[in-house]
Amino acid sequence: MQLIETRAVSLQAPQDVKLTAGLTLPSGLYRGIEERVRTDSIAGPSWAVKYKITLSAERLDVTEFVRQGRLIRGPEKPV
């Protein structure tokens, strides 16, 4: 069985983050979504966490940048 939990989070870019060629996320505070997916197996449950932010009506997966420490969790209060 798979369980998906989502919640609003703030993500902070302490410095500009180059996302792809020609796309740089300026430093600052961004509203985002934390998505936690639980998958059950014989070995027990495992969780995968993904982070997304919205830019110009598009969702952008920034999980890899959070893992690299280039985008960090900001204050818990809504932006």
Residue with tokens 């939990």: 5
pLDDT band at 76, cuts 50/70/90?
Answer: confident
The residue extents of the domains of the chain are: 2-73
| 76 and 10 Cβ atoms separated by less than 8 Å | yes
Residue with tokens 């989502």: 6
Length of the chain: 79
- From residue 12, how far is each of 3, 37, 73 by CA, in Å? 27, 23, 6
pTM for this one? 0.65
Residue 36 has pLDDT above 90, yes or no: yes
